[in-house]
């Protein structure tokens, strides 16, 4: 019995060491840019280079955005040995040269594949080529892999994503693993040790609220996605994030709606992956995307998603516990009309079951910092009355008096 147990034990330990995801790649929600929302399949190496340039020149890199990710449709054919190649017309210099260019700007480089036989755009999927693809990405100096879920009939999601995790690990280069399975098999319940982030929903669209019929599928507006996220907050944390899909800021919604969308993604610890053409941004888009205080709420090291405290007359109240005893508070006016609210802070008496913390407004005084006007607005002992424009937010960091 003892003799049998020992080798089995060694095998168990070594297989555990082998089967893991790369640690410390996403201690705060990943930030970057992805080609899909704006360009879909109409991408090229020139666009990606210009986007990398713009990431630096616009100040987005300094604000914390780091990854440049090429989504679907970069693929050409597999070579005679089965290794995937880039589309030679759109990416004539090859992926390695592009990754090197992105790295030369002090940024990181990401790519896309699919667990099935084909990607959603009909390009070769990784099914049956997982180890080979992971090796190829590592050789190309890729830092981030988004892994989609089209053409996966009869494929088990846990098996498929775990297989790619192990393939990435075996290839040896730390690559952030972004799972894009749309939440179908509830990855938040099983993927904590598989991916660094997992999509929780179908695809987003550049609209505020509702569902858009796209024939064979439905696209979801920002707040329609938000409505499905509150119940998932306990599953996210440093190293493993719920992903309610990429940002639509700058893609057509008015600035107030973009501001609300961005604020709420910050509040719920969503990966902040830009989806607009950052080479040509309106000043108000840039101001939203580069709001360092709102980004700091998203990137807070505690890594706890906001809780939805409640809603009153179409104004929702969300609280996010922050490191050092502060909180972020966001009042979201979903209505098509402006709303005036009166805030008596002691009305908010609750204990957050995830952090175990309560703001204790009856005993603790906090200073108010308005994160969109940048103004100090007194403290939580005072009643405040504010009008929140339609489809906009009032967002504070409340700072504990020492």
Task: Provide the minimum distance between the beta carbon of 48 and ligand GLA in the complex, in angstroms, as a whole number.
Answer: 15
Q: Is 265:272 a contact under the CB 8 Å cutoff?
A: yes
Distance CA 359, CA 342 (A): 18
Residues facing 333 on adjacent strands: 315, 392
Task: Provide the minimum distance between the beta carbon of 73 and ligand GLA in the complex, in angstroms, as a whole number.
Answer: 7
For this structure, is 79 an active site residue? no
Task: Provide the minimum distance between the beta carbon of 178 and ligand GLA in the complex, in angstroms, as a whole number.
Answer: 10
For this structure, is 148 an active site residue? yes
Distance CA 375, CA 368 (A): 8
Bridge-based pairing state of the strands 67-69 and 75-78 = unpaired
E strand or H helix that includes residue 339: strand 339-343
Task: Provide the minimum distance between the beta carbon of 196 and ligand GLA in the complex, in angstroms, as a whole number.
Answer: 16
E strand or H helix that includes residue 37: helix 36-39
Which residue's CB comes closest to ligand GLA?
Answer: 120
Cβ proximity to ligand GLA, 121 vs 325, nearer residue: 121
E strand or H helix that includes residue 11: helix 2-18
Residues in contact with 249: Cβ distance below 8 Å, sequence separation at least 6, in sequence order: 258, 261, 262, 274, 275, 276, 285, 288, 289
Task: Provide the minimum distance between the beta carbon of 149 and ligand GLA in the complex, in angstroms, as a whole number.
Answer: 8
Cβ proximity to ligand GLA, 197 vs 315, nearer residue: 197
Cβ proximity to ligand GLA, 118 vs 139, nearer residue: 118
Q: Which residues lie near ligand GLA (CB under 6 A)?
A: 36, 71-72, 119-121, 148, 180, 203
Candidates 133, 166, 203, 352; catalytic one:
203
Cβ proximity to ligand GLA, 111 vs 232, nearer residue: 111
Cβ proximity to ligand GLA, 183 vs 303, nearer residue: 183
3-state SS, one letter per residue, for 309-321: EEEECCEEEEEEE
Distance CA 303, CA 323 (A): 9
Candidates 133, 148, 243, 277; catalytic one:
148
Catalytic residues: 148, 203
């Amino acid at each position: 019995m003892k003799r049998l147990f020992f080798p089995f034990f060694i095998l168990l330990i070594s297989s555990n060491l082998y089967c893991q995801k790369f640690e410390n790649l996403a201690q705060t929600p990943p930030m970057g840019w992805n080609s899909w929302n704006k360009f879909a399949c109409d991408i090229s190496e020139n666009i990606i280079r210009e986007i990398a340039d713009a990431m630096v020149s616009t100040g987005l890199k300094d604000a914390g955005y780091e990854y440049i990710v090429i989504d679907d449709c970069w693929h050409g054919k597999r070579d005679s040995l089965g290794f995937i190649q880039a589309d030679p017309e759109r990416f004539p210099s090859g992926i390695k040269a592009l990754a090197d260019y992105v790295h030369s700007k002090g940024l990181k480089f990401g790519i896309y594949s699919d667990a099935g036989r084909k990607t959603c755009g009909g390009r070769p999927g990784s099914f049956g080529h997982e180890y080979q693809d992971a090796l190829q990405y590592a050789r190309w100096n890729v830092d981030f892999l988004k892994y989609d879920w089209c053409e996966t009939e009869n494929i088990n999601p846990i098996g498929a994503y775990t297989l790619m995790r192990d393939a990435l690990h075996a290839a040896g280069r730390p690559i952030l693993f972004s799972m894009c399975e749309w939440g179908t098999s509830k990855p938040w319940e099983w993927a904590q040790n598989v991916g660094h982030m997992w999509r929780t929903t179908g695809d987003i669209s550049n609209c505020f609220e509702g569902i858009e019929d796209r024939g064979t599928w439905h696209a979801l507006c920002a707040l329609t996605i938000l409505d499905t996220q509150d119940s998932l907050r306990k599953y996210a944390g440093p190293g493993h994030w719920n992903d309610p899909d990429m940002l639509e800021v700058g893609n057509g919604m008015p600035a107030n709606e973009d501001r609300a969308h961005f604020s709420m993604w910050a509040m719920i610890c969503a990966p902040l992956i830009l989806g607009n053409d950052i080479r040509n941004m309106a000043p108000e888009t840039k101001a939203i995307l580069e709001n360092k205080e709102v980004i700091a709420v998203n990137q807070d090291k505690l890594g706890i998603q906001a809780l939805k405290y409640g809603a009153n007359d179409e104004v929702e109240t969300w609280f996010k516990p922050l490191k050092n005893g502060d909180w972020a508070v966001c009042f979201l006016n979903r209505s098509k009309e402006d709303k005036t609210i009166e805030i008596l802070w002691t009305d908010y008496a609750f204990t957050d079951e995830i952090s175990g913390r309560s703001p204790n407004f009856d005993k603790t005084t906090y200073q108010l910092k308005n994160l969109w006007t940048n103004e100090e607005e007194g403290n939580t002992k005072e009643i405040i009355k504010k009008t929140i424009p339609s489809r906009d937010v009032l967002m504070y960091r409340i700072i504990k008096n020492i």
